[in-house]
Amino acid sequence: MSVNSKLYEGKAKILYTTDDPEVLLADFKDDATAFNAQKRGSIKEKGIINCSISSKLFQQLEAHGIKTHFIDSPAPNQMRVRAVKILPLEVVVRNIAAGSLCQQTGLPLGTLLQPPLVEFYYKNDLLGDPLLTRDRLLLMALATAEQVDTITHLALQINDFLIGFWQQCGITLVDFKLEFGVDSQQQVLLADEISPDTCRLWDIAEEDPNRRVMDKDRFRRDLGNVENAYQEVLQRVLKVVEATN
């Protein structure tokens, strides 16, 4: 596979075209951003860690019937993916109240959400990625009604699987962000990544509200030991995957 030109560069990844128009190469970066890129930094080996975790989780999801854009990982920080047109939506699934949900609603941190809450945000940095209602989403033609139903169903399926997987890792899945794309066959696929950058993860064995954090909140909130937390998540993922294979 030959790599051609840079197609797109985002906050966490660079996408390159390849000699196959249906295949792209995603290069995961060590760059770290928060608060719509108002805070910037770097996390050592984040690209390798997030690519490795995402690759393993995509393979696990594929084995459980969830179709993703993942093909393979030709290098530690690179992933070959199916070319998709990304829907301009961030789909957030919340199992426990934290972060912006607490700030915007007054719900106490740690409130269990039954059933899980699925939210849609407009993927637009200039507008601050605003929260959308279903009617607004459809009015803006960001997705069709059928696509909204499909990604909602898939998000809940993915959540069911990930809750169990992270529990095996000794981790509580608080909430997480997903992105979806449409391939050349108009099939909706899970895209982007699943990693400590996109998930809020708490160590089950740790009660201290700061020490239990194992995700990008350590960077957002200046909690320190960011690299160690990411490495620990990777090692737990690899251990669980090895045990189940």
Give the sign of the dihedral formed by CA 96, CA 136, CA 179, CA 129: negative
Within-domain flag for 237: no
Do 74 and 187 reside in the same domain of the chain? no
Give me the DSSP letters along 135-148: HHHHHTTSS-HHHH
Average pLDDT over residues 11-34: 94
pLDDT, tens digit, for every residue of 78-109?
Answer: 999 999 999 999 999 999 999 999 999 999 99
Sequence letter at residue 138: L
pLDDT, tens digit, for every residue of 170-208?
Answer: 999 999 999 999 999 999 999 999 999 999 999 999 999
pLDDT, tens digit, for every residue of 26-37?
Answer: 999 999 988 877
Task: Report the percentage of the chain scoring pLDDT > 90.
Answer: 93
Say what the pLDDT of residue 147 is: 98
**CATH number of residue 116's parent domain:** 3.30.470.20
Enter the pTM of the model: 0.95
Do 21 and 48 reside in the same domain of the chain? yes
Domain span at residue 198 reads 85-227
Reported confidence tier of residue 245, pLDDT bands at 50, 70, 90: confident
For 103, the 3-state DSSP assignment is helix
Do 196 and 112 reside in the same domain of the chain? yes
CA gap 161, 155 in Å, rounded: 10
Write the CA distances from 154 to 55, 58, 129, 206, integer angstroms.
18, 13, 21, 31
Average pLDDT over residues 64-68: 97
Say what the pLDDT of residue 206 is: 96
The count of structural domains within the chain is: 2
Q: Is 2 a residue whose pLDDT tops 70? A: no
Reported confidence tier of residue 1, pLDDT bands at 50, 70, 90: low
Task: Report the percentage of the chain scoring pLDDT > 70.
Answer: 99
Say what the pLDDT of residue 75 is: 97
**CATH number of residue 18's parent domain:** 3.30.200.20
Say what the pLDDT of residue 95 is: 98
Within-domain flag for 235: no
Average pLDDT over residues 217-221: 96
Say what the pLDDT of residue 35 is: 82
State the average pLDDT for the chain. 96
Do 51 and 99 reside in the same domain of the chain? no
Nearest to 81 by CA among 68, 91, 65, 90: 68
